[in-house]
Structure 1
Amino acid sequence: MPARERRVRPQMSENHPPSSRSIDPRAFRQALGAFPTGVTVMTTQAEDGRDIGLTVNSFNSVSLDPPLVLWSLSNSASSRQAFDEVEHFAVHVLTARQEDLATRFATPDIDRFAGLGVERGIGNVPLLRECAARFVCRIAYRYEGGDHLIIVGEVLSFDRREEPVLAFHGGKYALAYEKAVHPNRPRDDDAGGAPIVQKNALNMLLGVAYRHLVENLDPHLQARGLNEADFWTLNMVGAESGRDAARLNKLLGFREELVTKDVLDRLAGEGLVSLGEGVSLTEKGRQVLMELEAEAKSVETNAEAGLDYAEALLLHQLLRRLIFSMRG
């Protein structure tokens, strides 16, 4: 059976009386947020048979031999009584793809397991699928620590997957990304050792990447008698229907006008756009754009095949920030 709870009181020197009452709780929480953590979901089955689960970022390892882990649970948590009574629980380390799962298990007053297919572990604890790691534990000790219950678990079984993990930093979900040892010195096998890429200049890197994307999309454009400028224009008209050419160019933010009268006249002649006070797609134009976007997505997916999910997501986020920075 789980060990009984016992209170552990901090040891204070007589020469240094406690002064924690002067600490601002909000500022303290923000300071703690400077330390990045992983994101986990703890699950168990209550004595009455209900499945219990909650999102936790206080998970940590204690010992390898014996294998012990710990986490803390707020005394005010609705699941406090359940974890007081049970003998087993499971830890799920979430992947970068599972942010929705983290949010679900942090949302009060909902059935957090609704629609989820779960497996069962020791003690009938519910096990979530496709996590980066899972640990099924027996509760070894419970301690009271301030306004939290500290739970120490002995790991009875575990499994893991090679997946980027979800992180938590500064009160927000984050991505954990492996830092290059020498970020300014690509490996010899990077891009086939191409000298232009080895220079590591941003304009070169973006330019080469863009040309590769365009070259792979070109056959799909040429098959419809279209070019790169036509594709840009169809995309802008599809996103901002009813705008005139001047407004579309302003939204793009380039010095050079890409949405020109010649391009619009040609697309109108092909029956892809309708010209009036503003420019809009025809039914044929919408169909062609939908097909091209699917083909462009396929090209993008192939280009990102060498990146994991977190790297691809990070790449998109950084490129958006770069664009906003240059346009600002």
Structure 2
Amino acid sequence: MNNEQRILRNALGSFATGVTIVTTRGEDGKDLGRTANSFSSVSLDPPLILWSLSKTSSAFAAFKQSNYFAVHILAADQDTLSGAFASSAANPFDHMEVKRGHDDIPLIEDCAARFECRTTYQYEGGDHIIFVGEVVDFQHSSTPPLLFHGGQYGRLVSHQKSEYSFASRAESLTPDDFIYLISRVFYKIREEAVGERKKRGWSDAQYAVLTLLGHEDGRSRDEIYRIGRARGDEVDHQTLEDLEHRGLITQQGGADPDSTVRLTESGRRAMIEIVALLKASEAQCLAPMHDNEIRILKQLLSKLAIDEQRQGWPPIPKPLDRQAP
């Protein structure tokens, strides 16, 4: 591929598409499939679709001779499957159980949609052949599709019209809109848990210690002080003494900076109850969003949190009920 062709390919990549795997069965009985984003609908009456395949593809002869093929529109979580069928180095069907369609063509399960087609026309298209197929059977679901844009996979996010004009919305924003929005969501989720914490008489510093131990039990006193300071919490010797007096933690090693601090059974139970409140608030806050949008949101926030340990923050929380006491 020369430089001009590469530039053209990059320009064509500006158009976002879905991702499909097209499958067929060769004359030798071998199942074949190739990843393609050239899929397009052609007609409803009769029902026709098209896709194209490079003449240099190792599967070219099989598709050209086949009377039937199936087009699978991949679901958002099937990017690994797409990658497997994009390479001719190995045949993914060698390790898959498949259903059979017309003329015994292999069918992949759990896709966003699937079309079984009879090969109707084949047209020359430069270095590709364009296959037109008549849809003889199809299935579809509400599963969000996998997207491809600019050489990368993506997910679909619904574009909803704002109920406010841009001008009126802009007047209501703070100077730093991102921080404002993140903060509102953060405080909305933790509001009920904060109220419960106050009922229990825990200070901010005490709650910080319990949270750290909930993330990872058995921390040293020195580590708790260091992370507490990084978070802006005034955690000190008295904080730990008060929690131990309440029966929520134990300290092994006395005042030694390397002494180990652990949650007691009462402390662990209390934290599980607080986490349950947080999870309930989180579910309520995310209720207006689709599952696919929630996954995208978490992926994006994970990118922002990638340096959390370098900044002194604890690792991503682990479920309390799965940790060793």
TM normalised by structure 1 equals 0.70
Q: CA deviation at 1:97?
A: 2.1
Q: CA deviation at 1:167?
A: 0.3
User: Which of 2, 19, 30 in structure 2 is aligned with 1:39?
Assistant: 19
2:127 aligned with 1:167: no
Contact 1:165 1:175 in 2 (8 A): yes
Tell me the residue number matched to 1:182. 162
Tell me the residue number matched to 1:312. 294
* Secondary structure of 1:138 counterpart: strand
* Secondary structure of 2:109 counterpart: coil
Contact 1:139 1:154 in 2 (8 A): yes
Q: CA deviation at 1:208?
A: 4.4
Tell me the residue number matched to 2:61. 81
Contact 1:90 1:136 in 2 (8 A): yes
Tell me the residue number matched to 1:154. 134
Q: Distance in 1 between matches of 2:76 and 2:285?
A: 20
Q: Distance in 1 between matches of 2:95 and 2:197?
A: 42
2:36 aligned with 1:60: no
Query: Is the alpha carbon distance of 1:271 and 1:58 closer, same or farther for their aligned partners in structure 2, counting shifts above 3 Å?
Result: same
Alignment: residue pair count: 292
Structure 2: state its 5+ residue gaps: 167-171, 312-325
Query: Is the alpha carbon distance of 1:85 and 1:213 closer, same or farther for their aligned partners in structure 2, counting shifts above 3 Å?
Result: same
Query: Is the alpha carbon distance of 1:41 and 1:258 closer, same or farther for their aligned partners in structure 2, counting shifts above 3 Å?
Result: farther
Tell me the residue number matched to 2:208. 229
- Which has the higher mean CA deviation after the structures are superposed, 25-34 or 108-117? 108-117
Q: Distance in 1 between matches of 2:219 and 2:126?
A: 55
2:182 aligned with 1:206: yes
Contact 1:233 1:258 in 2 (8 A): no
Tell me the residue number matched to 2:103. 123
Q: Distance in 1 between matches of 2:299 and 2:252?
A: 34
The 5 A counterparts of 1:105-144 are: 105-113=85-93, 116-144=96-124
- Which has the higher mean CA deviation after the structures are superposed, 81-90 or 235-244? 235-244
Q: Distance in 2 between matches of 1:151 and 1:59?
A: 10
TM normalised by structure 2 equals 0.71
2:90 aligned with 1:104: no
* Secondary structure of 1:72 counterpart: strand
Q: Percent identity?
A: 34
Q: Distance in 2 between matches of 1:26 and 1:141?
A: 30
Structure 1: state its 5+ residue gaps: 1-20, 187-197
Q: CA deviation at 1:85?
A: 1.4
Q: Distance in 1 between matches of 2:218 and 2:70?
A: 46
